[in-house]
Amino acid sequence: MLNFLRTSVLLAVLTAIFMAVGYFVGGTGGMWIAFIIAALTNLFAYWNSDKMVLRMQNAVEVDPRSQPDLYNTVEALSQRAGIPMPKLYVINTEQPNAFATGRNPQNAAVAVSAGLLRYLEPREVAAVVAHELAHIRSRDTLTMTMTATIAGAISMLAQFGLFFGGGNSRDNPLGPIGVLIAVIVAPIAAALVQMAVSRTREYEADKDGAEISGDPLGLASALNKISQLARQTVNVPAERNPAQAHMYIFNPLNGQRMDNLFSTHPNVENRIAQLQRLAGEMQVDRTGRRPAPQPAADDTVPRNTGGGWRVPSTGSSENGNSSRGPWG
């Protein structure tokens, strides 16, 4: 109920912004046209926003044949999360990052970047996937995908007024100046939409994802690597669609745009500190294991001393140490 109310309020605010831009572009008539467009956009976004977001981010669907290790990882973690296996996509960018989308757990998708698979260890990839599955389980993805779609529609409406000379309606008291205001307001509105997706959602997804994977320090390590590498790599699809930045586990914008003045994500150091505290509460060490219980005198049954689910190794070196992993 809380997620439904939050989504409804957010969409109402976006619809109001859309109507205001329509008013400045085309007066009262433009406002009502914008309202109709907003209503249709909301309806369309509910059913198709996930597909639009994946298309805008140049995500390519993968299956067990093309990405067997990644697929098995997501499948096992989905079972632990108690949700259906989502569709799986890979984004063609070297920036390590990931996001989830979809209107509900039955129609969800997880997208990870090629850079995430290349630069992160298997347990770190698993921890990131668990974070995204936590978003799906709590239905955060509906809010995130719809806001991204409607924010893009706001920008498109403002650009329409700029290039086609709107603002001449007698109902618009500001005339062409109103169009200029709309063009200026549109990117700011997109940034505000990103901020409207509460930062506490990321903290909750970190916490829930760590519980799903059983490895909070794996996620802490992943966030540390992502935060360092993401700033050095341009995520072209995200830069072209900044209104979708709030969907990623870490802000994909590289700091060269004004959009980054409005942070859509909590401070990464604070997120890591929370995960470290959670690891202490869960009694999980840096390898993702919990201390082995002391067996009773007559206890002859072997016990599993692992701390939650971990990505299985795909091989070992000659001296018996595990290899870096399927993506290393």
Query: Residue 17: what are its φ and ψ, rounded to 5°?
Result: -65, -40
Helix, strand or coil for residue 51?
helix
With a threshold of 0.85, does the pTM exceed it? no
Does residue 211 have a known ligand-binding role? Answer: no
List per-block mean pLDDT (blocks of 10 residues) for the chain, which spans 328 residues.
65 78 72 71 76 88 94 96 96 94 91 96 96 92 69 70 56 64 70 63 90 95 93 86 81 58 73 93 72 46 37 37 40
75 belongs to the catalytic site: no
pLDDT at 31: 67
**How would you label 245-268 residue by residue, b for 16+ Cβ within 10 Å and e otherwise?**
bbbbbbbbbbeeeebeebbbbbeb
Q: How far is CA 89 from the centre of its chain?
A: 13
pLDDT at 124: 97
pLDDT at 30: 65
Is residue 165 within 8 A of residue 28, CB to CB? The reply is no
* Beta-strand runs (E) in 84-211: 87-91, 98-102, 108-113
For 224, counting Cβ atoms within 10 Å of its Cβ (0-12 exposed, 13-18 middle, 19+ buried), the class is middle
Is residue 76 within 8 A of residue 309, CB to CB? The reply is yes
Between CA 267 and CA 125 the distance in angstroms is 20
pLDDT at 72: 96
CB atoms under 10 Å from CB of 283, counted, come to: 10
Short-list 80, 84, 143, 77, CA closest to 112 = 77
Between CA 180 and CA 199 the distance in angstroms is 31
DSSP-derived letter for residue 15 is H
pLDDT at 58: 87
Q: Which of 94, 132, 211, 239 is catalytic?
A: 132
Is residue 15 within 8 A of residue 38, CB to CB? The reply is yes
Is residue 37 within 8 A of residue 25, CB to CB? The reply is no
pLDDT at 23: 75
| Torsion sign, CA atoms 156, 162, 163, 166 | positive
Helix, strand or coil for residue 248?
strand
Residue entry with tokens 């009694």: 283
